[in-house]
Amino acid sequence: MIIKSVQLINFRNHSHYKLECEDETSLILGENGCGKTSVLEAIYIVTRGKSFRATDSEILKRETEFYRIELEYLNGEKIITTYDGKTKLFHILDKKSKRLPKHHKYPVVLFLPSDLNLISHSPGRRREYFDRIFSQFNETYATNLQKYEKALKQRNELLKNDYLKKEALFSWNMLLAKYGTSLYNFRKSYIKEFNEKLTKTYRSIAENKDTIDIFYKTEVEDITEEKYLKKLEENFEKDSYLGHTSFGIHRDDYIFNFNQKPADGSASRGETRSIILALKFIEADLILAKTNLKPLILLDDVFSELDPVRRKCLIKNFKHNQVIITSVESVKD
């Protein structure tokens, strides 16, 4: 699907803004702070169903009562998203829904400047990054992640109760074991697919013989639902004392290795950027392979962080996708 245009009303600092998109590459130029990223955020909301950085109340322009995004595809299909301060709705044809229907979601490869620091970021940031990617590969993953996070939140709330009995956690333990085991299996499988491509893709960018892999660090190695449940029950006293769930896939991490050593500390700044580029290229390839859709590419002010060689590589790799770029300066091929 090719985006024809996107229009914003009362979105962040935009009272009204319209972008007419090119079929291949569209460039949004402007100084820092003028709202370039907000345009990408609006597109992401309409194509994926939620923002990649904020809640709807934070997005709503100050002293206004609603925001509206209207996205039109080249085939004439329109999706309108509105938020009135309380409820977000997706308007498609004559139907309204609080969630973007699965068959109207479109895959997106999002590239933010902060992604270039992914290797040295916190485990939570890396989990969030890969969860966003894996959710585009498989809707079951996205659904199970949502259910897991809801059950985890409920269990943690109960653990704050000084008079909590072990039996009160049983149903939440069952849910965490069920969805946690499923998510673990998905993650293990997908990271294997990334690793099968990572070194070769990296070498195509860096033109050297370095090796790259991602180690999926987890406490639930080769675990079953029964073992997962048993571990949660065994941790009751510890979790009650801590006030939160100390075991589970919500504590997983993804460690990048560079020539068999942790990349954080051994890879140079340029090598780190090449690793992240490779990661993005593989993400796009796997989305196409698993969904049969060419993902939309959103690049937020990343050209200023890349040298000319890596810029050229980025443009070349995504030449068959629709690309929308934000930048403070003109981008040359």
Residues 31, 154, single domain; the answer is no
Asked whether the predicted pLDDT for residue 333 surpasses 60, the reply is: no
pLDDT above 70: residue 199? yes
- CB 84 within 8 Å of CB 98: no
Q: What is the mean pLDDT of residues 249-263?
A: 97
Going through 114-236 in order, the beta strands assigned E by DSSP cover: 212-217
Q: pLDDT (tens digit, 9 = 90+) per residue, 72-88?
A: 999 999 999 999 999 99
- Output the CA–CA distances (angstroms, integers) from residue 90 to 84, 108, 147, 295, in the order listed: 12, 18, 22, 21
Is residue 156 located within the same domain as residue 72? no
Q: Do 156 and 86 share a domain, yes or no?
A: no
CA distances from 240 to 251, 293, 304 (A): 18, 46, 48
Domain annotation covers residue 147:
yes
Domain identity same for 138 and 65: no
Average of per-residue pLDDT across 109-123: 94
Q: What was the pLDDT predicted at 332?
A: 62
Distance CA(59)–CA(73), nearest Å, equals 23
Give the C-alpha distances (Å, rounded to integers) separating 305 from 108, 116, 214, 273, 298: 21, 8, 23, 9, 15
C-alpha to C-alpha distance for 238 and 115, rounded to whole angstroms: 35
Which residues have a Cβ under 8 Å from the Cβ of 38 and sit 6 or more positions away? 8, 11, 12, 13, 14
High-pLDDT (> 90) share of the chain, % = 89
The yes-or-no verdict on residue 330 having pLDDT over 80 is no
Looking at the structure, do residues 146 and 163 belong to the same domain, yes or no?
Answer: yes
pLDDT confidence tier of residue 292, bands split at 50, 70 and 90: very high
134, 12: one domain: no
pTM of the model: 0.91
Structural domain boundaries enclosing 195: 119-291
* Integer Cα distance of 117 and 122 in angstroms: 10
- Does residue 112 belong to any structural domain of this protein? no
Residue 303: the pLDDT is 86
Q: 41-77: per-residue pLDDT in tens?
A: 999 999 999 999 999 999 999 999 999 999 999 999 9
Q: Show contacts of 80-89: CB within 8 Å, 24+ apart.
A: 81/45, 81/46, 83/56, 83/59, 85/57, 85/60, 88/56
Q: Please provide the average confidence, as pLDDT, over all residues in the chain.
A: 94
Q: Which pLDDT score, from 0 to 100, does residue 305 have? A: 87
